[in-house]
Structure 1
Amino acid sequence: MNSIELVDLLVIVGYLLGIVGIGLFSVRKKKQTSEGYFLAGKSLSWAVIGASLFASNISTVHLVGLAESGFTDGIVWGNFEWFSGIELLILAFVFIPFYLRTKITTLPQFLEKRYDSRSRVVLAIFSILAALFMHIGVSLYAGAVVFENVFGLSIPVSIVIIALATGVYTIVGGLTSVVITEAVQTVILIAGSFTITLLAIYRLPEIGITSYEELKMAVDPNRFKIVSFDTAKTGFSFTDMLFGHLILGIWYWCTDQTIVQRVLGARSEKQAKLGALFAGFLKILPVFIMVIPGILAFALFRQEIGNDTKSVLPVMITHLMPIGLKGLMVAALLAAVMSSVAAAINSCSTLIVYDVFNKLNPNLPDRRKIFIGRVTGVVVLLSAVIWSPFLGNLGTIFELINQMFSILAPSIVAVFLLGILSSRGTANAAFYTLLIGSLFAASVFIVEKYLPIGGISNYISSPDGMGINWLKQTYLFFIFSSLLYAAISYFDKKDQVIFPGFYLKVRSPSTLVNWLSVVLILSMLILYWTFY
């Protein structure tokens, strides 16, 4: 997109002003308390929680990357979306009861209640670094690339514009502003993606494709097979994706403060569970409105795109969307980046206030907590603005960061999951699993990236070396961390401490929650059977 029409510009500017206005309006005339600022006063309903979870997850890199994946490989990468439904079920039935009934504000606080303060400190550090360097920094850069392509603005200037627009309502309004704006952004995200999908389908008859069967033959039927994984091309098998993603997904959906904070703000356990299930249903959509458009682009614009596969979505916007709708799609891309950034700023503020300052002074008044939260938001945002322009190649850094998450995720998941499922885990087991598990994974990462063995670079994942790709490494690290946790707990029995009332009495189940869970599982089975 080398130029933009006035109508599209007005749509984009209207979106930016509208989102800021909605964010500020949502907290007007409200006397803010710390619970209101950081947890939305525990007033969130299932619809807002589910939409907010979805919007926080979908970033601009997500939109561009899924379109590219559809163009190059087909819907097989949609497994990353559909697997999330299972992980959100785990959030609903395994984690939410513990989080809400122990009345925590942050997930590090949960580890302190289950184990001790050492684990709380380690997880707080991990969580803040993840929010700053991935959720905020990468998202800002991705949004700036969109602004550069549309307006011709430089990356640094674009980053500042997006940071200002997002920071105003997030820092002033707290979680209430974040989730209300994310609910609106979910609608914009889905509307923009759905529109470009329909326009691509509408264009197919112009190249002689009038049926689904003809489309499959034009692009290769394997592009519509969800488990047809080309191991030789990707280095992954379907099993690697299944188990590796399960560990990363449990970490992301169930133990990451940026995501789980919406659940902690629920008005009840039932509303929290329904919100997680709603997000699970929403995660079905990206395959159809973000991945399949990439397949349609292969049929329609193969020549225009050529080897520049990262241009799939921009090419589709340029060639398919008329004046006005282009602005809608750019607004959808901005909605993706702003929702991710807002969620991470709010979680960083919460972590700093409750896991640092409130720990040092448990008697902090509400007004002081909110002030510290806002100052933290400003500092975190400024830090991300300063470092994010240096990201360079977006595709490379995004892949690198995903692999780096495989360093932290396995040990965190082991400590949370085993701590919930068993009363035998000890404080020492949790602390040393977090440290040793992460250091072991980091050592493997450094050897993989920077220390060739026997003259072979990437020795661990290379077929000429050990041939263990990073997704397989992820679940192997989890097995290592789990065994370490179990071994330390076994030899450390005298230090077992069970938080009083930690292991929950079974409550009367919600019929609605249970039936919707069954519907979600059946939906996933039908989808896999259809695209097998």
Structure 2
Amino acid sequence: MHIHWIDLTIIISYLLGITAFGVYVGRNSASSSSNYFLASRSLRWPTIGLALFATNISTVHLIGLAASGYDQGMVVGNFEWLAPFLLILLGLVFAPFYFRSKISTLPEYIEGRYGPTSRTVLAVMAVIGALFIHIGVTLYAGAVVFQSFVDLDIIYSILVISALTLIYTALGGLRAVVVTEAIQTVILLIGAIAVTYFALVALSDMGITSLDQLKASAKPDQLSMIRTEGDYSWYAMLLGYPILGIWYWCSDQTIVQRVLGAKTERDAQLGPIFAGFLKIMPVLFMVLPGVIAYVLFQEQIADNKDATLIVMIKELLPVGLQGVVIAGLLAALMSTVAGALNSTATLVSIDIVKRVKPDVEDHKLVYYGRVTVAVVLLLAIAWSTQGEKFGGIFEGINQMIAVLAPPISAVFIWGIFWPRGTEKAALYTLIGGFLCGAIVFCLDFPAVSGLFLGNDEAGNPVRFFTDQLGIPFMLQAWWLFVISSIILIVVSYLTPKPEQAVVEKFCWKSPLLVLTEKPISGITDARIMSLLLIAVMALCYALFI
């Protein structure tokens, strides 16, 4: 043990308590597939916003953002502060169509827009994304935390936290997931704020009491959100992030399933915008502490940047509070894994099983969903054991998103705004774009690239795109999106136009209708709140340019 018994008691009590509570609130969820997968479409906007935030802010973020703040600086915060603009896109552009069509999954929307074959392909891609990105990397990040405080092999750490999450996710469905996520969000934020507070106190004890003094003690430009070169240059972020964001925030089942469970269209729109306001906090309470850690603990952390947050917890927090913060880390892990497991269960049951067996009984869909949860979790556990080869937790997860997202983003954004997009064009785009992305990933992921390209003189695997062509992963995402868009546009013009009824139901007639379709209902109208969010984000950027 590397942890006080009081902290360990807090952690164990929390884990057992949240598991029991999740099982309790979801005890009747198996009564129907709608109740199990979409919480009977009863979610209000505060719950949706909190659930979106909790599913997004995983242990990967808590550890990865602190590590990237230590290594790269505040520029990594662009991943958080650009997200509100994509959440506005979800709330104003995509949510109305999702809600009005009463879909259960996003592949179901794609079937309406492009046909059944594209639906199947997207469902498979979504399950792959949940397995490798949302669950696999997150389990590894959580195991790193657990192993840092308890002498337990990393595979056993993964198994412990996986088993607890599996119990209430499989039994309780989406209702158990979103209710526990709301609680876990509070715990997570308490932990992040506590680390930041004690870090600032430690800075003050060193005589650093102003932003200018912190800038002088940190690396050059470590407190700037804007870079002119490198992986996080302003143009790479401007071109690449929207591609990642359209997939992640607007067309990924794991995230959008909370919106699909909305009670009203207003809830479906305001929930994402509320989450956009919440996304302001990670830069201040997760990235900034990483910068402070560089000033305080550079010698202890050295080159092991993923240990940044763990070192801060051990060095700064008193007994008792350490347990709360670690519970927050595990809360973040369980939120993300639970949400991803529920979404994969929905995808397999609704988009695959029900299409293969149209007459399948409703309770059988819940059964297949539970089996899916167990199988996907086992596969994710196997993948998570490769976590040390990611080259940094936060970078690793975004590199995977950068090669999966482009074809999906292209199909959705062109599909909802461009009526000419056709069924075959979407199919060829999804398959062609996915294959291109898979090739890029294999050539750029160290665990795989070494098999093809060998090792350099130091024995490190050669990464084709980063080492030889020098293309940052954000620009990889942009160019893969360009290729996917070209495929979609060319094939669309070579194939017959879609039926007018399809276009009218699943496309905006004009982009301006997003803003003008309905009269403004008051200050809480989604459009007014979106303008307020944009103004707040402009002020935030002004402080850290």
SS, match of residue 201 in structure 2: helix
Which residues of 2 match residues 201-280 of structure 1 at below 5 A?
Answer: 201-220=200-219, 222-227=221-226, 229=227, 231=229, 234-280=230-276
Counterpart in 1 of 2:179? 180
CA distance in 2, matches of 1:113, 1:104: 10
CA distance in 1, matches of 2:469, 2:380: 37
Counterpart residue type for residue 294 of structure 2: F
Does 1:529 pair with 2:532?
no
CA gap of 1:417–1:169, structure 2 versus 1, over 3 A, is: same
Counterpart in 2 of 1:169? 168
Residue 236 of structure 1 deviates from its aligned partner by 4.2
Counterpart in 2 of 1:315? 311
CA distance in 2, matches of 1:171, 1:316: 35
SS, match of residue 103 in structure 2: coil
CA distance in 2, matches of 1:130, 1:254: 14
Residue 261 of structure 1 deviates from its aligned partner by 0.4
Aligned residues of 1:410 and 1:475 also touching (Cα < 8 A): yes
Counterpart in 1 of 2:301? 305
SS, match of residue 224 in structure 1: coil
Matched residues, number: 525
Counterpart in 1 of 2:482? 479
Aligned residues of 1:11 and 1:324 also touching (Cα < 8 A): yes
CA distance in 1, matches of 2:178, 2:119: 26
Alignment RMSD: 2.2
Aligned residues of 2:143 and 2:154 also touching (Cα < 8 A): yes
SS, match of residue 174 in structure 1: helix
Answer with 140-149 or 501-510: which moved more. Answer: 501-510
Does 1:365 pair with 2:383?
no
Residue 445 of structure 1 deviates from its aligned partner by 4.2
Question: Which ranges of structure 1 fall in alignment gaps of 5 or more residues?
Answer: none
Answer with 510-519 or 266-275: which moved more. Answer: 510-519
**Alignment deviations for residues 45-67 of structure 1 (CA, whole Å, 9 cap, x no partner):** 11111111111111212111111
Which residues of 2 match residues 53-132 of structure 1 at below 5 A?
Answer: 53-132=52-131
Which residues of 2 match residues 342-381 of structure 1 at below 5 A?
Answer: 342-381=338-377
CA distance in 1, matches of 2:403, 2:203: 44
Counterpart in 2 of 1:133? 132
CA distance in 2, matches of 1:89, 1:240: 21
CA distance in 2, matches of 1:486, 1:496: 17
CA distance in 1, matches of 2:334, 2:440: 34
SS, match of residue 322 in structure 1: coil
CA distance in 2, matches of 1:445, 1:155: 25
Counterpart residue type for residue 325 of structure 1: L
Does 1:417 pair with 2:430?
no
Aligned residues of 2:133 and 2:401 also touching (Cα < 8 A): no
Residue 430 of structure 1 deviates from its aligned partner by 0.5
CA distance in 1, matches of 2:396, 2:191: 28
CA gap of 1:435–1:153, structure 2 versus 1, over 3 A, is: same
Residue 386 of structure 1 deviates from its aligned partner by 3.9
Residue 159 of structure 1 deviates from its aligned partner by 1.4
Residue 179 of structure 1 deviates from its aligned partner by 0.3
CA distance in 2, matches of 1:98, 1:266: 13
Counterpart in 2 of 1:515? 528
CA distance in 2, matches of 1:398, 1:74: 13
Residue 30 of structure 1 deviates from its aligned partner by 6.3
Counterpart in 2 of 1:286? 282
Aligned residues of 1:427 and 1:496 also touching (Cα < 8 A): no
Residue 13 of structure 1 deviates from its aligned partner by 0.8
Counterpart residue type for residue 70 of structure 1: G
Counterpart residue type for residue 468 of structure 1: I
CA gap of 1:498–1:439, structure 2 versus 1, over 3 A, is: farther
Counterpart in 2 of 1:17? 16
Answer with 429-438 or 319-328: which moved more. Answer: 429-438
Counterpart in 1 of 2:505? 501
Counterpart residue type for residue 515 of structure 1: I
CA distance in 1, matches of 2:63, 2:207: 27
CA gap of 1:510–1:168, structure 2 versus 1, over 3 A, is: farther
CA distance in 2, matches of 1:65, 1:358: 38
CA distance in 1, matches of 2:397, 2:200: 34
SS, match of residue 223 in structure 1: coil
Residue 514 of structure 1 deviates from its aligned partner by 1.9
Residue 494 of structure 1 deviates from its aligned partner by 4.9
CA gap of 1:433–1:364, structure 2 versus 1, over 3 A, is: same
CA gap of 1:408–1:100, structure 2 versus 1, over 3 A, is: same
Counterpart in 1 of 2:157? 158
Which residues of 2 match residues 352-501 of structure 1 at below 5 A?
Answer: 352-396=348-392, 399-447=395-443, 449=449, 457-462=462-467, 465-494=468-497, 496=499, 498-499=501-502, 501=505
CA distance in 1, matches of 2:400, 2:140: 18
CA distance in 2, matches of 1:208, 1:381: 48
SS, match of residue 493 in structure 1: coil
Aligned residues of 2:165 and 2:337 also touching (Cα < 8 A): yes
Aligned residues of 1:427 and 1:497 also touching (Cα < 8 A): no
Aligned residues of 2:420 and 2:492 also touching (Cα < 8 A): yes
SS, match of residue 213 in structure 1: helix
Answer with 201-210 or 91-100: which moved more. Answer: 201-210
CA gap of 1:209–1:83, structure 2 versus 1, over 3 A, is: same
Residue 477 of structure 1 deviates from its aligned partner by 1.5
Counterpart residue type for residue 14 of structure 2: Y
Residue 420 of structure 1 deviates from its aligned partner by 0.6
Counterpart residue type for residue 131 of structure 2: L
CA gap of 1:35–1:315, structure 2 versus 1, over 3 A, is: same
Residue 222 of structure 1 deviates from its aligned partner by 2.2
Aligned residues of 1:8 and 1:323 also touching (Cα < 8 A): yes
CA distance in 1, matches of 2:48, 2:29: 21
Residue 498 of structure 1 deviates from its aligned partner by 4.3
Residue 439 of structure 1 deviates from its aligned partner by 2.0
Aligned residues of 1:114 and 1:498 also touching (Cα < 8 A): no
Counterpart residue type for residue 381 of structure 2: V
CA distance in 2, matches of 1:8, 1:204: 25
Aligned residues of 1:89 and 1:277 also touching (Cα < 8 A): yes
Residue 501 of structure 1 deviates from its aligned partner by 3.0
Residue 213 of structure 1 deviates from its aligned partner by 2.5
Which residues of 2 match residues 325-344 of structure 1 at below 5 A?
Answer: 325-344=321-340
CA gap of 1:412–1:20, structure 2 versus 1, over 3 A, is: same
SS, match of residue 319 in structure 2: coil
